[in-house]
A and B are shown apart, each in its own frame.
Chain A
């Protein structure tokens, strides 16, 4: 096998004022023509750094400290910026994550393609335009000649990413580096783009490096995979071998943490190898503890949350005349009940209105019409009445983004204690502090976290703080709005386990919102599928996965990435 690219013992450093951070340590990789190499790892593993180091586009003040990058027999590290610029585009193409920002919105697709072609090849004038049409056709854009005059905003996200791929191919490169090329796209489009990349790789004998955090993407497209962990490549090999029979402990735990859509597990495999941050795990006995006392739910009411004919419109464009107004129906005649102690999953693609439903229940929005009952109390008709307020206090919410859901200027203790202090649910400040400590222990952070500020914690740890804050209100109902979609897959597993344990210990009623079907399979008892603000189907989890009734549910299930390789029995 001939080599297209060989990286030998590469070290990348970022000097900061806290000392030198090594983003890559002793990384060695090879890519052959016609081969897709997957570079997989979690955030901060250094996978994007490798891609940027190859084309000498490291973000300042990063630098390659040692090692060699041999591309077609020449060491790229000896190239100066002028020669490097000719390599980029002409011999190495790049595809970035976000198709929104990698195209210039002021130029037409044609202008951008032709400009790149003229820079990178000998084609000029008509020949360049003809080549642009060819490229667009190659990436599967129909009516290519007419589309040349279109602007990027006239294309959908998936089409734009196709154009970006065409741009990367403009100079007829031998190597393409794709950095998270499908992360910003919906699942259905992700599959098409991956197929396209794979086809191009075979047809043109391209070497492709695909950088991703998503094991599913790797399983679908890559020939070989390199697993990165904290700047080091811990394992390389054929995809089937690495994913089917991982040797390194990290790879094993990473793969174990990927939620399975094909069957339900009792718990997610815990990934101590990664989170091992001395979480003491000193659990409290919730039944005798303050947390378990003073439960305010009425066990005679079975339907804890009841939604009836709920409607909410958002005004997109205001106008004095009614017919000029533009509105979107975010929630369209939604009726739904959640029973005591169950986990109801709410799934749908982005923009389906699932988060809006959650916010309506939590009282962050008021519906235009319809009824919301919490523990039998109507909270819509008189939202400020004592009864409605009391009912609302039973609901707590955990948000998606762990970085914006904590007030950066408050200590963790004050964040968690806020509901306790406001409602004076303890006898004394000393008791409040003890309870905050207990809560932090219980969510696996340790009581010492109380005196720190949120920025000292990682995303997963912050999400634990959010959970502790929600528990401090002693809720009956917990709404989780994509609680793990901003987290790495290994951290996701530990947070989901924690939520599951809490739900069982406290008998919480849970509304779990996600776009991630494998996750919902593990969490939910029943699932409601949403699309365009309306509910398509509500069914018990196993029945939905086995025999979806609604056409849209079937469509969603078909789009799930195939994980056959992960199954040791099938491999």
Chain B
């Protein structure tokens, strides 16, 4: 028997009553991880406001200030807190701008992979038969190839298709598509599994008895009920996508050095590592680790909170 108050609860009350919210405020790890993630995202997206320099403005860059160490090291200057790179760009500002690019590429790639994977997964789970077999075998085959190699392949093909003079402008989009196309089988598998469970439940059968067409049942009934597991892998997928972008850029396959991402910065710094200019690699790498680690922790917590049976 349900005890019911006189009026239906407001959205905020529903949220507060939610098990996930409750689990969140009772797990310190999740709160810290969420805080760091939010700080990373806010700081990088507010880069034009808070960064001391604009690394894309040639007027603010002077080669004379190149290769300066962090402020607290001998020879460092106070206005360059984390030092400068070989071109004289302020490391702190460059990391903020680069982090923004990395996060945006990661988010866009995950969204692409999610839209593609979830739609294919739900359709193949609900329709079944030959559609299911074909889609899932393609996914299986793709999963036998290491993701990063596949991303390099797609990236290479994408770049080859674009005329040379546009290549740098479109590099970001090519990277997003490359990572998104690499990601989709994970989403498809999870969405298909959830669909197989949901499609056998009686509410889906009730919708079929009403006479709703298949696409409407998938969209309105099945899709919303597959979201939980999809969100979990989307969070973990975000961390992986950021790493994938960094890897591509580090290998020189991704974002060009003129608009640096975290991966590009690490690659540039790598050339100077043995000259003792450790800070050019070190600080972007730390930023990458902190970002990916906190997103991962968040994903882990979410998996536990949404799937109590796994614990």
Mark A residues whose CB is within 8 Å of B: 17, 44, 277, 359, 362-364, 389, 392-393, 395-397, 399-401, 404-410, 418-419, 422-423, 448, 451-452, 456-458, 461, 466, 469, 473
The reply to whether A418 and B207 contact each other, CB–CB distance below 8 Å, is: yes
Q: Is the CB of B208 within 8 A of A452?
A: no
In angstroms, Cα B225 to Cα A404, docked, is 12
Least CB distance from B118 to A in Å reads 15
Question: Complex Cα distance A423/B211, Å?
Answer: 9
Say whether A392 contacts B211, CB under 8 Å: yes
Once A364-B205, A399-B205 are accepted as A-B contacts, the answer to whether A407 and B210 lie under 8 Å apart by CB is: no
Cα distance A399–B205 in the bound complex, in angstroms = 9
Size of the chain B interface, CB-CB below 8 angstroms: 21
B22 near A397 with CB under 8 A, answer no
Q: CB-CB < 8 A to A418: which residues of B?
A: 207, 210, 212
When C-beta atoms are compared, the residue in chain B nearest to A419 turns out to be: B210
Which residue from chain B places its CB closest to the CB of A456 in the assembled complex? B2
> Are B203 and A404 within 8 A (Cβ)?
yes
When the two chains form the complex, which single residue of A393, A410, A451, A458 contacts B1, counting CB atoms closer than 8 Å? A458
Chain B residues with CB under 8 Å of A407's CB are 203, 207, 221, 224-225
Bound complex: CA A404 to CA B203 (Å): 6
Given A17-B22, A277-B1, A422 and B210 contact (CB-CB distance below 8 Å): yes
A41 to chain B, nearest CB (A): 13
Q: Which residue of A lies closest to B7 (CB)?
A: A448
Distance from B212 Cβ to chain A, minimum over Cβ atoms (Å): 6
Inter-chain contact B201/A404, CB cutoff 8 Å: yes
Q: State A410–B203 Cα separation when bound (angstroms).
A: 11
By Cβ-Cβ distance, the 7 closest A-B pairs, closest first, are A405-B202, A399-B202, A404-B201, A409-B224, A451-B8, A407-B203, A419-B210
Q: Are B211 and A362 in contact (CB under 8 A)?
A: no
> Main secondary structure on chain B at its contact with chain A?
helix
Name the A residues within 8 Å of B205 (CB-CB): 359, 362, 364, 397, 399, 405
* Cα distance A116–B183 in the bound complex, in angstroms: 52
Neighbouring A residues of B210 by C-beta, 8 Å: 396, 418-419, 422, 469, 473
Q: Does B161 contact A (CB under 8 A)?
A: no
Is B130 in the interface zone, CB < 8 Å from A? no
Known: A409-B225, A466-B206. 5 other contacts (CB 8 A): A44-B1, A397-B209, A405-B201, A407-B221, A408-B225
Whole-angstrom CA separation of A177 from B292 in the bound complex: 53
B4 close to chain A: CB less than 8 A? yes
User: Nearest chain A CB to B13's CB is how many angstroms away?
Assistant: 12
B22 pairs with A404, CB closer than 8 A: no
- Min CB distance A286 to B, Å, is 20
Closest Cβ of chain B to A240, distance in Å, is 31
C-alpha gap A364/B4 in the complex (Å): 36
Set B22, B203, B212, B224: member contacting A422, Cβ < 8 A: B212
Return chain B residues, CB-CB under 8 Å to A406: 203
Give min CB distance, B92 to chain A, whole Å: 43
Q: Which residue of A lies closest to B208 (CB)?
A: A364
Complex interface: chain B residues within 8 A of A473 (CB):
210
15 A-B residue contacts at CB 8 Å?
A: A362-B209, A363-B209, A364-B205, A393-B211, A397-B206, A397-B209, A405-B202, A406-B203, A409-B224, A409-B225, A410-B220, A419-B211, A422-B212, A452-B4, A461-B2
A329 CB to closest chain B CB (Å) equals 22
Interface-centre pick from A397, A400, A458 (highest chain B CB count, 10 A): A397
Bound-state Cα–Cα, A213 to B202, Å: 25
Q: Which residues of B contact A363 (CB under 8 A)?
A: 208-209
CB distance from A561 to the nearest CB of B (A): 27
Query: In the complex the two chains form, is B211's CB within 8 Å of A458's CB?
Result: no
Chain A min CB distance to B41 (Å)? 28
- Cross-chain contact B225 with A457 (CB below 8 angstroms): no
Q: Which of A364, A399, A404, A407 has the most CB of B within 10 A?
A: A407
| Distance in angstroms between the alpha carbons of A422 and B208 in the assembled complex | 12
Q: How far does the Cβ of B210 sit from chain A's closest Cβ, in whole Å?
A: 5
Chain B residues with CB under 8 Å of A457's CB are: 2
Q: Which of A395, A452, A458 contacts B209 (CB 8 A)?
A: A395
Bound: A397/B202 CA distance, A: 10
Known: A363-B209, A461-B2. A452 touches B203 (CB 8 A): no
What separation, in Å, do the CA atoms of A59 and B2 have in the docked complex?
22
A419 partner residues in chain B, CB cutoff 8 A: 210-211
Report the minimum CB–CB distance from A34 to chain B (whole Å): 37
Contact A396 B209, beta carbon cutoff 8 Å: yes
Candidates A389, A405, A451; contact of B206 at CB < 8 Å: A405
Give the residues in chain A near B211, CB-CB below 8 Å: 389, 392-393, 419, 422-423
CA gap between A397 and B201 in the complex, in Å: 14
- Max chain A Cβ within 10 angstroms of own Cβ: one of B205, B206, B216: B206
**What is the CA–CA distance of A363 and B207 in the complex, to the nearest angstrom?**
12
Separation in Å of the B199 CB from the closest CB of chain A?
11
* Assembly CA distance A44 to B1 (angstroms): 9
Cα–Cα distance between A188 and B1 once the two chains are bound (Å) = 33
